[in-house]
């Protein structure tokens, strides 16, 4: 297999990239507005210089984890300061989140695995 | 607010800690066995020296993200080599996952936010 291959459609982040881990608890408020804002955020991030990709999951208990990958610290910081990101972040604090945690990390290494034969 | 406070019941990882980001796509197979193994994994991890905490979310589309926090590289590596972890990883490849990606990262900094008044 020729790396980087793209298990699950995501990217395999290179060493030295920045992973921004966003962990959050949702309020029950405004599911529709939240969904629209999440889509708008994803589009704004993808237009940003140094954006490498994003993965997101939210369980039925309301806890969500989003990891966005960035080329370097400068790219991650520019995204933090992006005006649309800032605007949506303020709405998130007003409406959508009970709590959140943002953790900035540096990628050391990554391993991919993908099924080559049916499960069982 | 006195840091580190514990938004959502999780931990705020300190600078230099290791975050192991595990992103996976589930098969449709063996939901019951998977649930039991996930519980057993969480218990085994929590007994491991250098374990700081774990957060996990899986959405309705089958994509899941788990982040486990470790004191240092040695602790994360020891968990990787833990015999129960190894056994469950092999079952995961046989049964539960279509693909997964493991990304080892180093924590640079973390920010917490928690609601102080009702949403709206």
Distance separating alpha carbons of residues A44 and A10, to the nearest angstrom: 18
- The pLDDT of residue A50 is 97
Contact A52, A69 (CB under 8 A): yes
- Over residues B8-25, the mean pLDDT reads 94
- Over residues A52-59, the mean pLDDT reads 95
3-state SS class at A113: strand
Domain ranges of chain B: 15-106
Task: Tell which wins on pLDDT, A1 or B86.
Answer: B86
For residue A31, how many other CB atoms are within 10 A of its CB?
Answer: 11
Residue B79: CB partners within 8 Å, gap ≥ 6?
A: B20, B45, B48, B50, B51, B68, B70, B85
**Entry field: residues in chain A:** 120
Q: Do A108 and B110 touch (CB under 8 A)?
A: no
Contact A110, A13 (CB under 8 A): yes
- Over residues B1-20, the mean pLDDT reads 76
- The pLDDT of residue B7 is 63
- The pLDDT of residue A88 is 94
pTM of the model: 0.92
- Over residues B6-27, the mean pLDDT reads 90
- Over residues A52-73, the mean pLDDT reads 95
User: Could you tell me the CA-to-CA distances from A37 to A40, A84, B18, B119 in Å, in that order?
Assistant: 5, 10, 31, 16
User: Could you tell me the CA-to-CA distances from B7 to A60, A100, B11, B12, B97 in Å, in that order?
Assistant: 18, 7, 7, 8, 30
Evaluated on CA atoms B90, B92, B95, B99, the torsion sign reads: negative
Report pLDDT digits (tens) over B41-69: 999 999 999 999 999 999 988 999 999 99
Residue ranges of the alpha helices (H) in B14-72?
31-46
User: Is residue A58 predicted with pLDDT exceeding 60?
Assistant: yes
Instruction: Mean pLDDT check: name the lowest of A7-11, A62-66, A69-73.
Output: A7-11
Closest CA to A55 of A92, A101, A94, A9: A9
User: Is residue B5 predicted with pLDDT exceeding 50?
Assistant: no
Residue A34 forms contact with B (CB below 8 Å):
no
Q: Do B95 and A120 touch (CB under 8 A)?
A: yes
Q: Do B101 and A12 touch (CB under 8 A)?
A: yes
Closest CA to B67 of B99, B102, B41: B102
- The pLDDT of residue B6 is 55
- The pLDDT of residue A120 is 67
Topology annotation, domain B15-106? Alpha-Beta Plaits (3.30.70)
Q: CA-nearest residue of chain B to A29? A: B119
Q: CA-nearest residue of chain B to A13? A: B103
Which B positions 35-74 lie with beta carbon below 8 A of chain A?
55-60, 63-67
Distance separating alpha carbons of residues B99 and B113, to the nearest angstrom: 33
Is residue A1 very low, low, confident or very high in pLDDT (cuts 50, 70, 90)?
A: very low
User: Is residue B77 predicted with pLDDT exceeding 50?
Assistant: yes
């Amino acid at each position: 297999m020729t790396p980087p291959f793209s298990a699950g459609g995501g990217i395999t982040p290179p060493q030295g990239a920045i992973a921004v881990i966003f962990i959050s608890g949702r309020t029950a408020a405004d599911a529709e507005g939240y969904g629209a804002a999440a889509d708008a955020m994803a589009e704004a991030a993808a237009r940003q210089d140094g954006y490498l990709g994003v993965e997101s999951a939210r369980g039925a208990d309301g806890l969500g984890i989003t990891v966005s990958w960035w080329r370097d610290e400068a790219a991650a910081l520019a995204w933090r300061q992006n005006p649309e990101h800032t605007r949506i972040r303020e709405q998130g604090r007003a409406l959508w989140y009970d709590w959140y945690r943002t953790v900035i990390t540096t990628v050391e290494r990554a391993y991919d695995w993908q099924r080559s034969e049916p499960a069982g």
